[in-house]
Amino acid sequence: MGAGKTTPKQRQRAPSQRALENRARILDAAEQVFARDGFDGATIRRIAELAGVPLGLVNHHMGSKEALFQTVVGRRAEELSTARLDALDTLEREDGITLDRLLGAFFRPYLDRAGADAKWRAYARLVAQVSADPTWHHLSETYFDPTARRFIAGIARLYPGVRTADVSEAFVYSVSAMLAYQTSHWRIGALAGDTGATGTAEALIAFCAAGINAHLSAAMPPAGS
């Protein structure tokens, strides 16, 4: 190719700052609306109104409602998975694998973010929707399952001989507890009659670790079998 020539791809203009800002506002608004109303209840009009952009701009930037939902789910998944795997890698390098620490490496990257940012709290509702509806299994397979399998393998090594199905079951129960804690921990105070009582990450981890240990200890094959 001669010097000075450009391809059509090279001639494409980079997104303007305004376009990037609009896209970010749309994604933030969509996250809130999907978290509050669910996929079926959410409307592009409501998302556009919350984002403060024309209706057509949402379609221009994001395409269909389904495409927008997938983008919203995926945009925080990489950051979260990276933080979790980094924490797991640290445990493995230090040979510090215990059940409590494994769960902490999985739970805390999310709980720390959710504790500091309401957007991450809304994200928990989205993940709960994806986890509960087989329609979105491809999103789980893409964004969450590879990381989950690393942790499931780590737990399995603590319980030799236990079936992967049993470990997976216990892990899913624990992740469900984490999502329930994040989306409805205010219920602790409501039931206790103490508005300041919301539970702690340490209590959640201890609860889940005890449940996993009870389940997998019962599932271990008899010694010598």
Whether residue 9 is predicted with pLDDT greater than 60 in this model: the reply is no
CA nearest neighbour of 207 among 184, 182, 158, 173: 173
Contact criterion met (CB below 8 Å) for 37 and 49: no
Contact of 7 with 28, CB cutoff 8 Å: no
Instruction: Render pLDDT for 36-77 as a digit per residue (tens, 0 to 9).
Output: 999 999 999 999 999 999 999 998 888 899 999 999 999 999
| pTM for the structure as a whole | 0.84
The answer for residues whose C-beta is within 8 angstroms of residue 97's C-beta and 6 or more apart is: 91, 154, 157, 158
Please check the confidence at residue 31 and state whether its pLDDT lies above 70. yes
Q: Which domains does the chain have, with CATH numbers?
A: 14-63 (1.10.10.60), 75-219 (1.10.357.10)
Instruction: Please report the pLDDT score of residue 1 as a whole number.
Output: 45
* Cα separation, 178 vs 148, whole angstroms: 14
Residue labelled with tokens 């500091």: 116
